Chain A
Amino acid sequence: MSIQEFVAPHSLSEAKSLLADGAMASVLAGGTDLLVGVRLGTRSPERVVDLKKIPELTAISVDAEALHIGAAASAFSILHDSDVPSFFPGFAEALDLIGSTQIQGRCSAGGNLCNASPAADSIPALIANGAQCVITGPAGDHQMPVEDFVLGPSKNALKEGELLVALILPRPSSQTADAYLRLTPRTEMDIAVAGVGVSLTLDGEGTCTAARVSIGAVAPTALLVEAAGAALIGTQLEATAIEAAVAAAREAACPISDKRGTAEYRTHVVGVLVARAIAQAQARIVEASS
């Protein structure tokens, strides 16, 4: 391995200076992408900055407005040691689809996002839930919606010396629920042919008052399909509304053909998953309010 230096700072300010002094540095959260990349020769950092000793990077907290998930918190911690699954069952299911138990013991939601794979499972779920990225760096702190953070395969919006600190998910009301579904050839340890994240809000009469639909693995980045959400708002989620959302998602999809499926197949499947994810999110709201 090319790694010449390993540092585990205890504060954000230390981490920022370690990332900004010109060394070829990579941050380390779970390492499930970084260390594989180093082994395969696609990543060659000289300095590795382990983020897991920085409290803000692993903390998971809930307040009246939002859930804050440290960017380096492991999927296992989010799934088993936090309230996140009760607020965001769809986002939790997306994390639970990543790799094996061993991988989930290490991999983080922040890492899945920064790695910026087109097929990343957690990204459509984050986008559907309106998640924001908290970024710090030499020029100070700022926030950015997740849908703007991923620029292309393996490309994110972090500038030189910047660091993803946390993800903020607006706290859902009792009338809001999410869902994430993906298709893979195998049930486990596989990468999405297509993935769909949906978040819906219904009023007391079952009318949809807010909707976000995000599709993954069918474009260079996960996409927020605003037209699909718009097709649902103001409706009772009747068949014509769902068909319109499905059509909008298929229209937005621009997949490649590869060993996991042809572009035509992926475009078809993403629509099927949109309809099912809408039904699942709706069922969650109905169940919670009955």
Chain B
Amino acid sequence: MNKPLNKMAVQATINGEPTAFLCSPGQVLADVLRDELELIGTKIGCNTGDCGACSVLVNDRLVCACLVLAAEVEGQAVQTIEGVAEGGVLHPVQHKLLEHAGLQCGICTPGVVIAAKALIEHNPNPTEEQARYWLAGNLCRCTGYDKIIRAVLDAAQQMREDAAV
């Protein structure tokens, strides 16, 4: 990695807050989130878009923050794991992951939460197969996935019930 020669000023909305940051032209969003904005909930695993640990939403689109240049998010809305719980209340996906023991070491968990929440927003009633395909880009070396999938389907069911009330 070369030393950055020039910095760009970028303005974006991050977890609902208007945010300005400086980045070098080749710096990826995952590095800016962690190193410049201290949002270290977004994890970096493979750094090549294979593992999903750095999953975030950019304009509601699920992406790997390691494969987005930070300069690309000028004027856009970024959602990270730090914006998922509201006022200290866990999101149903987070709650169900705890309840089903859908995490062990926790490195994949922020990405799983972001991806699963995006799935349920896209498709409130996913089948197990749809959930497994949607989450195929979130690698977990601890759980064997079954507990994650059960937690996500349970969270989707709870969110449907909550919405029906």
Contact = CB atoms under 8 A, between A and B. Distances in A.
Contacts of A105: 58, 61-63
Interface stretch (B66-74, B79-87, B93-101, B149-157): B66-74
B26 A3 contact: yes
B49 interface: yes
Given A2-B26, A48-B25, A48-B26, A101 B69 contact: no
Contacts of A28: 69, 72
B1 interface: yes
Contacts of A5: 6, 25
A188 interface: yes
Contact of A31 (B68, B122, B136): B68
Interface string B20-57: 00001111100000000000000000011110100100
A39 B1 CA distance: 9
A2 B3 CA distance: 9
A101 B49 contact: no
A35 interface: yes
Contact of A102 (B6, B62, B72): B62
Contacts of A36: 48-49, 67
A56 interface: no
A101 B72 contact: no
Interface in A1-44: 1-6, 8, 28, 30-32, 35-36, 38-40
B8 interface: yes
Given A99-B137, A102-B52, A6 B61 contact: no
Given A31-B69, A36-B49, A101 B62 contact: yes
A1 B71 CA distance: 14
Contacts of B66: 35
A58 B24 CA distance: 26
A50 interface: yes
Contacts of A188: 133, 136
A276 interface: no
B163 interface: no
A284 interface: no
18 contacts: A1-B27, A3-B69, A5-B6, A5-B25, A8-B72, A31-B67, A31-B72, A32-B67, A35-B68, A36-B67, A50-B71, A100-B52, A102-B137, A103-B49, A105-B63, A106-B63, A106-B68, A188-B133
Interface of B: 1-2, 5-6, 8, 24-28, 47-50, 52, 55, 58, 61-64, 66-69, 71-72, 74, 115, 118-119, 122, 133-138
